[in-house]
Amino acid sequence: MPSHSDYGAELRRVYEACLPLLGSGRVATYIPELAHIDPMRFGLCLHTIDGETYAEGDVDLKISMQSISKVLVLAMVLPRVHPCFHRVGVEPSGDPFNSLVQLEFENGIPRNPFINAGALVVTDMLIELERDPKGAVLDYLASLCDTPGITFNQSVARSELATAARNRSLAYLMRSFGNIRANVEDLLDVYCHHCSIEMTLRELARSFSFLARGGYSASAGRHLLTPSETKRINSLMLTCGFYDESGEFAFRVGLPGKSGVGGAIITVLPGHFTLATWGPGLNEKGNSMLGRHALEMFTSNTGMSLF
């Protein structure tokens, strides 16, 4: 395994090896605002548990978190809702992230918190906990990355709300089973806003570092999760963090993580580091083609994965 002094050199090697693949995949277009992202962008950022940061490429541009925010909303809810997993499961879905099929057969209980239905249930829990859920999410993220001014991209949020027919259907179907309690339009507003949050890769890597430290956030100066809760979130990221390609990602990369259709991926090696990537071109499963390739190369070259 490389020492910390080798992280920068390895990140540079991976970055340069990936440059010929710039533009691979297709930018998400089903959310119209995301269709404007430059497909030639690419960045890598590694943040160690000791607070060192190594970066290459486009790491200081604000990017849309999209589904990555689902992990952080779960981290907000998990310590405060007992039992959290009576309303949402912990199994991979094997179906597209916005599928309604399983919900009908499984009585409105989503398979896991990272498909859209599961994230809507977790967001519903957040609304029950917070008088101002959108403000609470921004405050939480600002404390995680020690950066003021973390905010929503209102254009992206409006674009998501305008194309939310499938998510609206998911929410009403779950409401018919009693598993959504908030007003559906209020729920969609909070959900679409937390998916629209903008962060740089540096901020993203730093904000997730508590999941590499057993739940302790150096930026917040406290434990946000117990070691057991941290284990649960990391295990869910490994098995469910990449839509219906999570098995393939674990096979190739071997790290817990979460992707978003904005092209970002965040990964965690507990006890060592977080590693964030951004490549807007997606494969058919909705994951960054360039990001997955870079992460596979990094873990293969260094031997630093769970396995």
Residues 6+ apart with CB under 8 A from 176: 108
Catalytic residues: 67, 70, 191, 243, 261
Side chain identity, residue 106: E
Cβ(57)–Cβ(288) below 8 Å: no
CA distances from 299 to 122, 250, 268 (A): 31, 11, 12
264-269/257-259 β-pairing: antiparallel
- Eight-class DSSP state of 95: S
What is the distance between the alpha carbons of residues 127 and 118, in angstroms, rounded to a whole number? 14
Q: How far is CA 223 from the centre of its chain?
A: 20
CB burial of 17-38 (b: ≥16 within 10 Å; e: otherwise) equals ebeeeebbbebbeebebbeebe
DSSP three-state, residue 152: strand
The token pair at 162 is 């305008």
Are the C-beta atoms of residues 73 and 65 closer than 8 Å to each other?
no
One-letter amino acid at 21 equals L
Could you please report the per-residue DSSP string of 205-244?
Answer: HHHTGGGTTTTEETTTTEESS-HHHHHHHHHHHHHHTTGG
Residues 6+ apart with CB under 8 A from 168: 184, 188
Which value, in Å, is the radius of gyration of the alpha carbons in the chain? 18
